[in-house]
Amino acid sequence: MGNHTEAKLFINGEWKARAGAPIINPADETELGIVPFATENDLAAAVEAAEIGFKTWSHTSPSRRSEIIRDAAARIRANIEIIARDMTLEQGKPLNEARNEVRRSCQVLEWDAEEGRRTYGRVIPAEQGLHNSVKHLPIGPVAAFTPWNYPLSSVARKVGGALAAGCSVVLKASEETPAAAVHLVNAFAEAGLPEGVLNLVFGNPSQISRFFIAHRVIRMLAFTGSVPVGKSLAAQAGEFMKPCLMELGGHSPVIVCDDVDPREAGIKSALAKASNAGQICTAPTRWFVAASHFEEFADQMATTARSVRIGNGLDPETQMGPLANARRIAAMQDLISDAVKKGADVLSGGERAANKGYYWPLTVLANVPDDARIMYEEPFGPVALVNPVSSVAEAVSKANSLEFGLAGYALTHSADNIAYLTDHLEVGNFAINQFVSSLPETPFGGMKDSGYGREGGTEGLLNYTITRSISHKTRSIEGSRPGLSS
């Protein structure tokens, strides 16, 4: 346990140890340490600190806020090896993926730092003597909830956007992967962020969410997680008229058209599915393949999937690490078993890879019937569902048949296909000939049950502001001939 960063609460500028629950290494199921659980007094102190911190931070100049955020990002970059190792130990992803997550997180913070200097308002033309204008002001203290699958980048998106807009934050990070949040918060403390502006707690999620949502000080909820939990939190927030930013689950379609090389597409698709062991809300999951390419594509995807090396994320040869927890193993077993019973063909994987450690091989299922649960329940793991379609229109119809609408992908070089897909695919993020659905400078979020609000881009910061309209009527001086003061 000595090689793992100790997790603590951070409230009003002070680190606090508490009793809690074990942190488990998914590669070997050993205990890494203890995550502290906040008491109700801790939660109250964190909210009080955020209230006082907001008064300071919201009146700090955007340029100074930018300096502190950029300084924190630089400190995180300098600590990349330690942070990446902690993430691999806690979550299982290969070390190089963890390093890339650290780099992306810094890019997010740096973008927000600069964009926070540009939350411009506007002047609206009016009749003489009347001056109308618009200002974007920080909404207030924000309660942010982040998941275990991307323990640093999810935190960076919420903290970066909120701080850049001038808000204070009470962060409830994942109890299963706490170290990344500890590193980020520590970087901000060392960068000179005023006390109380950023607070970190762990504990019972339902208890903490109820406390924060009901508290008069908290003005906004930012959440990344599953659809059922998101709906529950949004309903609670609605009782108190508090706005939410909801980045929820997905079941992303991939449309493979008949104008691409099916073998190249199969290789690219398998490697994309292996990223973070498929534990991504935007993970490509449902492949709808042109019937003329189906057999060749499915065969190549399965061949590539079987070649993906799974193992401990600390091993430099590992291409895909273990699943993050035992719950994901149970989910894979349950959903895949149901699909096979209903007629799906297993082309690769399909069974747990080891008795110790939460390893599951990259699995490809073909000809999956529509009534298989895995076709409409988010699997959140390394399983690809591959089915043939007769046309792009049929693919879009099947893609849109679910209430998920976070990300979608297409492999095609046809301008006509791209135009049709862009107009008809019901997703918040659409990527063509690649599997990257968001960048720091682009807005990210879903539609339908996949949530609302956006993170990233100029749109992301505006979520953390209120829009104030100002109408100022001046006293007419016509005919009054006032004298000039000397």
Amino acid at the residue 100: N
Which residue in 97, 175, 247, 378 is the catalytic one? 247
Q: Which residue has the tokens 């629950």?
A: 21
In contact, 323 and 358? CB cutoff 8 Å: yes
Edge-first strand listing for the sheet containing 465-473: 122-124, 130-138, 465-473
Amino acid at the residue 131: H
Which residue in 167, 244, 257, 281 is the catalytic one? 281
| Active-site residue, 114 included | no
Alpha-carbon distance 444 to 376, whole Å? Answer: 22
Where is 269: in which H helix or E strand?
A: helix 262-274
Helix (H, G, I), strand (E, B) or coil at 354: coil
What is the sign of the dihedral through the CA atoms of 223, 269, 180 and 18? positive
Residue 231 has a CB neighbour count (10 Å cut-off) of 14
Residue 330 has a CB neighbour count (10 Å cut-off) of 12
Q: How is 153-188 classified by DSSP, letter by letter?
A: HHHHHHHHHHHHHT--EEEE--SSS-HHHHHHHHHH
| Active-site residue, 257 included | no
Alpha-carbon distance 394 to 424, whole Å? Answer: 11
DSSP code of 157?
H
Alpha-carbon distance 463 to 165, whole Å? Answer: 9
Angle of CA points 283, 286, 289, to nearest 5°: 125
Helix (H, G, I), strand (E, B) or coil at 308: coil
Alpha-carbon distance 94 to 276, whole Å? Answer: 8
Least Cα distance to 180 among 90, 46, 257 occurs for 90
Where is 132: in which H helix or E strand?
A: strand 130-138
Q: Which two tokens stand for residue 128?
A: 């003489």
User: Helix H segments across 14-79?
Assistant: 40-57, 62-78
Greatest alpha-carbon span in the chain:
92
Q: Report the catalytic residues.
A: 247, 281
